[in-house]
Amino acid sequence: MAAEWTRRWQQHGIDAEEHSQRLREITCCCLGPPILFGEAEKFAECKNCNIGFNPQTMFIETRGGHPCRKIEKICQKARSYRFDTTKLSELEKASRKLKDAFAGLEKLRDIRQTVLYIIEYGMAWVHMEKNLSDRALIKANLSQLLRQYEELLMFRSNFNDSVESLNSSVQKAIEMIKRHV
């Protein structure tokens, strides 16, 4: 009877040994619900904290799962601005139109790149570092920096003042982040 059953499983391409393995149960360091996995599995993930690990070696392979949608959208928006050459061209044109342009195009490009890098990677870092004391303040500061950059793109009135204000805001954000690194 058992031989017949095994033959039928093999006939359908299903290995009988694969389905008769033992289940293992462990508890994650976050003390969430128990994690159940087969003894031959190569990957398991905690449903509470989304840490992924190899059950054979118990080495952590991924941390934190997916970022929350709000953080992901902010990072994605900053990244798309960073690689958008048309927005850069528009900023450069606006700078050229002014007679006393803000310290040259090269400085404008540097400020723009710095702003967008700080927003993208700073927001991701703050999201991953859950134990920061000023976490909410840094997030708010980076979100404000993105709004300030978008205002610079939309409204060209007081262009020089807006660029100077953006530059000082970037420096404040950098100093705030440096305190926690």
* Tens of each residue's pLDDT in the chain, 181 residues: 566 666 665 655 545 455 556 778 888 777 778 888 887 788 888 877 777 878 788 777 765 555 677 888 899 999 999 998 888 888 888 777 765 555 577 888 899 899 999 999 999 888 888 788 888 899 999 999 999 999 888 877 777 788 888 899 999 999 998 888 7
In total, the chain counts a number of residues equal to: 181
User: What angle in degrees, to the nearest 10, is found between the helix axes of 135-154 and 85-97?
Assistant: 60
Buried residues in 110-119 as b, exposed as e (16+ CB within 10 A): ebbebbbebb
Evaluate the CA torsion angle 144, 149, 155, 161 in order and state its sign.
positive
**What is the DSSP code (8-state) at residue 120?**
H
Give me the pLDDT at residue 17, please: 52
Whole-prediction pTM value? 0.61
Nearest-CA neighbor of 40 among 60, 53, 21?
21
